[in-house]
Each structure stands twice: as structure tokens, then as C-alpha cells.
Amino acid sequence: MSLIDFFYPKRCPVCLDALPPGKQLICAPCVRKVRRVAGPVCYLCGRPLSDENEEYCRSCRRRRPSFVKCMAYAEYSSPAMRRMIAEVKYHGDCQLLDYPCLDFAKRKADEVRGYGIEALIPVPVHKERLLIRGYNQAEEIADRLSAVWKIPVDAGYLCRVKRTAAQKELTDTERMTNLFDAFRLSGEPGRYGAVILVDDIYTTGSTLESCTRVLMRAGVKRVFGAVLLTGRN
């Protein structure tokens, strides 16, 4: 056992118990408890569909997103995954992302290979928040996906210029207004033709939509999304 394993044992992302030292990233019985997105999903935003006869969810039918499509790993309704994201966000335990990101990356590897992606772009956080927290959870996820997909991460291509009010209490229209102008290009325009935006959670899709618009104005032809958790529509 290394000293690092002794003082900071890796924890299981589902039950949060310490794992035995070694390569294991989740306890065996917990693998079954991850509520992965399965079954019919919206062809655009990747959320599980409540009506499986539809191709798109209600919100994508109402307002078609600018991104090509979004891939999602697990359901936000899974209490374990929600707790895991909170541990990452508020207690800085980024190692909990190892298993879900690796599992997600492997499951989507073939699909992603077909898209000709040049870079993974994490949804940026405001630099003040980055100073306080020390890391951006979207970038932590992107780094882990990058290791499997062998696609470089460009964390400096977009920046967040506005600290946005908490999105939860807002209506859809208010969210878009809230996010309008929140993101800017900070890299050189025309650098990429196809990218994947990476974020932790997809709720209404307005964050991904705002970033996609900035990227498309910068000449990106095809923007995809990859998120760890997503809601049901």
C-alpha cells in the first residue's frame, strides 16, 4: 500500500466507502447501482424519453438546440450519482469521477470516434469561483474522457465572463437571458471544426446552448455535448 492510499484511500463513487488499495474504482456490488441512461433517449439532448414513440423530447421539439447532439451517462434522479457530484463540487473529491468517467468514455468511444472531434471544451466557471474552488469539475471530467478518447482538452478556448445567478429558480427564458453573454471566446477563432462541450449536469440545456452559440460564431461547424448526469424531460 502506498502512503497516498493509506492517508487518502480512494472512495467508491456510489457508497462513498473507502476502496481497498489498488486499481479498483468502485465496489463490485455498487456497479449495479449506477443508474445509467438506457432505453430510448431524445436524439438531440440525450435525455431519457417519457414517450418512447417520440424521437425528440418536448423541450427539443419546442426549441431545437444548436448543438448536434448531447451524450449523457447517468440519470440525475439517481441519489448516489447526485451525492457523488456534490462531493466533487463542494468537497473537492475529484477522484470520485474516475469510475463514472471511465465507464462513460468506454461506452461512447466508438460513437465519438465517428465524429472527427478535434478538442474537448469544458464548460468554464468564472475565474473567481475557480480561485475559491481550485478546479473546474467540467474540466476534471474532460481530462478523464480525454485519457480514453485521446482527444486533447482545450480548457482556455471559452471563458465565463459573468457570474450567473443560481439557475434553479429561473424560468427557461430567464435562464437564457441570465446566460446571455456569460460565455466568451478566449481562444483563436477558426481553430476547430468539431468539438465536444463537456459539463457535469444537463438540466434545461441552456448552458450548453449558450456555449454552442459562442463556438459556432467562432467558426465551429459541429458542436456535440457530453455530460455526466442528465434529467428526464
Of 17, 212, 8, whose CA–CA distance to 123 is shortest?
A: 212
Interface with Zn ion (CB under 5 A), residue from 25, 34, 37, 42:
42
Q: Is 30 in the site for Zn ion (CB under 5 A)?
A: yes
Q: Which is nearer to Zn ion, 10 or 160 (CB)?
A: 10
SS3 state of residue 113: helix
Sign of CA dihedral 190, 195, 197, 202: positive
What are the backbone dihedrals phi and psi of residue 185, each rounded to the nearest 5 degrees, phi first? Answer: -80, 130
Cell of 148: 480514453
Q: Is 81 in the site for Zn ion (CB under 5 A)?
A: no
Q: Is 68 in the site for Zn ion (CB under 5 A)?
A: no
Q: Is 14 in the site for Zn ion (CB under 5 A)?
A: yes
Q: Which is nearer to Zn ion, 146 or 230 (CB)?
A: 230
Please name the amino acid found at residue 191. R
Cell of 167: 439557475
Q: Is 57 in the site for Zn ion (CB under 5 A)?
A: yes
Nearest distance in Å: CB 98, Zn ion? 13
Nearest distance in Å: CB 37, Zn ion? 12
Q: Which is nearer to Zn ion, 11 or 160 (CB)?
A: 11
Residues between 139 and 168 with contacts to Zn ion, criterion CB under 5 A: none
HSE-up (13 A, CA, CB side) for residue 85: 20
Q: Which stretch binds Zn ion (CB under 5 A): 43-51, 70-78, 117-125, 184-192?
A: 43-51
- Measured CA to CA, the distance from residue 182 to residue 225 in angstroms comes to 18
Nearest distance in Å: CB 15, Zn ion? 3
Q: Which stretch binds Zn ion (CB under 5 A): 52-60, 100-108, 155-163, 213-221?
A: 52-60
Q: Is 227 in the site for Zn ion (CB under 5 A)?
A: no
The count of chain residues that interact with Zn ion, using the rule CB under 5 A, is 10
- Measured CA to CA, the distance from residue 97 to residue 25 in angstroms comes to 9
State the angle between helix axes of 98-113 and 137-149 in degrees (0 to 180), rounded to the nearest 10: 50
Q: Are 41 and 47 in contact (CB under 8 A)?
A: yes
Q: Which is nearer to Zn ion, 113 or 232 (CB)?
A: 232
- Measured CA to CA, the distance from residue 89 to residue 16 in angstroms comes to 15
Q: Is 214 in the site for Zn ion (CB under 5 A)?
A: no
Q: Which is nearer to Zn ion, 99 or 183 (CB)?
A: 99
What are the residues binding Zn ion (CB under 5 A)? Answer: 12, 14-15, 27, 30, 42, 44-45, 57, 60
